[in-house]
Amino acid sequence: MSYQIIVGQATYTVVDDLTDTFQVLLSGQVLSAEWNEPLPGFQINVDRPDIFVKTMAGGFFALAGHVNQLFPQLDSTAYAFDVSASAANTVGQTVTIAVPMGSTFPLAEQNFSLNYVPLRVQGRVTLAATGAPVANAAVTIDLPNALTLRSVSQFEHAAGTPVRSGSLSPSGAGRAVAQTAPRAALTLQLDNTAGLAPGFILRLGAPAAFLFVVIDSVGPEPGVVNLRTPATRTVTAGEPAQRVTFTPDGNSQPLAEAIPAGLGLLPLGGSLAAGAVQIDDASPARVEYHAVGALADSQGYYRLDGIGRRRSITLRALNPPPPATPTHQAVQGWLVNPRQPVNIVDLPLTPI
């Protein structure tokens, strides 16, 4: 019922039985995927300013609002809105919340499980007895049904994507990078492009920093190659640039889960022994190539980029040949600190 009240020169319309409900729309929790623990300082954002957000200790949150104003025709119309969760050093997520016609509130819980941003593990390989650096030591992460890459993945790939083992062998004359290119570059300036063609694989850098890119086109400017796969690190002027050919050995395993670009560990559906791999994406434009395992440089320093989705790792380092069979090794367990973008793990070798 409504009626009017006259006060002086003003007339007011009063409604004394209007009910407007402010209620919880949905709630949930934001956790770390690796640790399954609440993430401190998390944030929740909604793409509608008329939906209110409340965050609480323990990773809990709730969304609330005036249902009749937010969804005025809910009896006959379905609605949707987007909710995003983020926290420091994590990969954020956005989900679309469906509000079906005739919904009652609160809706089903919406929880978020955020992966930490992949980090770098680096350090120095030495002989424990003398402290002398060990050049060309092989460093891998011991993990069943997984491969450690020397360079991070260049694209995201779906679960089930074949990973094929084989060799990446030099083909033709060597050449050099003529101009420094930044990370994510899709163009390289070489000292010459003679004999290069679309689809050829280029190996860039010294062994400890091997990066493989695929040529999309050559030119039109002299010395320029345009890349199908992006550089995942800075490419420095003067680095070797060698064409290589991938020869599969007939063995493969599927990716056990979807992976993002920038990951240095490949989770596989089974065991795969490999010195080099091809990630054979269904899209030819997203096929990429990698050396397996890190190598220490001339001063014994190694680095593994893109280490993520793991709470702890075990690092293994072996001295290089000769002899043909390694005589020294280091096996080091490490609890990953996801809030440090670089984790330092030195690896002193002792006799096997």
Q: Of 314, 319, 279, which is closest to residue 296 (Cα–Cα)?
A: 319
* Tokens read off for 202: 């280029």
pLDDT in tens, 159-211: 999 999 999 999 999 999 999 999 999 999 999 999 999 999 999 999 999 99
DSSP E strand stretches across 142-218: 146-148, 162-179, 187-190, 201-204, 211-218
57 or 2, greater pLDDT: 57
Q: Is the pLDDT of residue 68 over 70?
A: yes
Instruction: Count other Cβ atoms within 10 Å, centred on residue 310.
Output: 17
Residue 9 has pLDDT above 90, yes or no: no
Q: Give the angle subtended at the CA of 73 by the CAs of 70 and 78, to the nearest 5°.
A: 85
- Looking only at Cα atoms, what is the longest distance across the chain? 104
Query: Whole-prediction pTM value?
Result: 0.83
Q: How far is the first Cα of the chain from the last one, in angstroms, to the nearest whole number?
A: 90
Judge whether 337 and 329 are in contact, CB under 8 Å. Answer: no
> According to the model, what pLDDT value does residue 181 have?
97
Mean pLDDT to the nearest integer, 124-144? 95
Q: How many residues does the chain have?
A: 352
Q: How confident is the model at residue 122 (pLDDT cuts 50, 70, 90)?
A: very high
Structure confidence at residue 60 (pLDDT): 98
Number of H helices, E strands in the chain: 1, 27
What's the average model confidence in pLDDT over 255-264? 96
Task: Say what percent of the chain tops pLDDT 90.
Answer: 89
The DSSP output letter for 254 is: E
Residue 17 is predicted with a pLDDT of: 61
Q: Which two tokens stand for residue 89?
A: 């050093």
Query: Distance between CA 105 and CA 206 in Å, rounded?
Result: 60
**Per-residue pLDDT band at 299 (split at 50, 70, 90):** very high
What was the pLDDT predicted at 325? 83
* Residues contacting residue 65 through CB under 8 Å, at least 6 positions apart: 22, 23, 25, 50, 51, 52
Q: Is residue 171 a contact partner of residue 243, using CB atoms and an 8 Å limit?
A: yes
Per mean pLDDT, which of 7-16, 40-49, 319-328 is the most reliable? 40-49
User: φ and ψ at 259, to 5 degrees?
Assistant: -125, 150
Residue 141 has pLDDT above 70, yes or no: yes
pLDDT at position 16: 63
CA torsion 282-283-289-290 (nearest 10°) is -70
- Structural domains of the chain ordered from first start: 2-114 (2.60.40.1120), 119-351 (no CATH)
How far apart CA 226 and CA 185 sit, in angstroms, is: 9
pLDDT per residue over 103-116, tens digit each? 999 999 999 999 99
Q: Which tokens belong to 173?
A: 């004359």
Residue 18 CB: number of other CB atoms within 10 A?
A: 8
pLDDT of residue 92: 95
- Find out whether the peptide bond into 182 is cis, omega within 30 degrees of 0: no
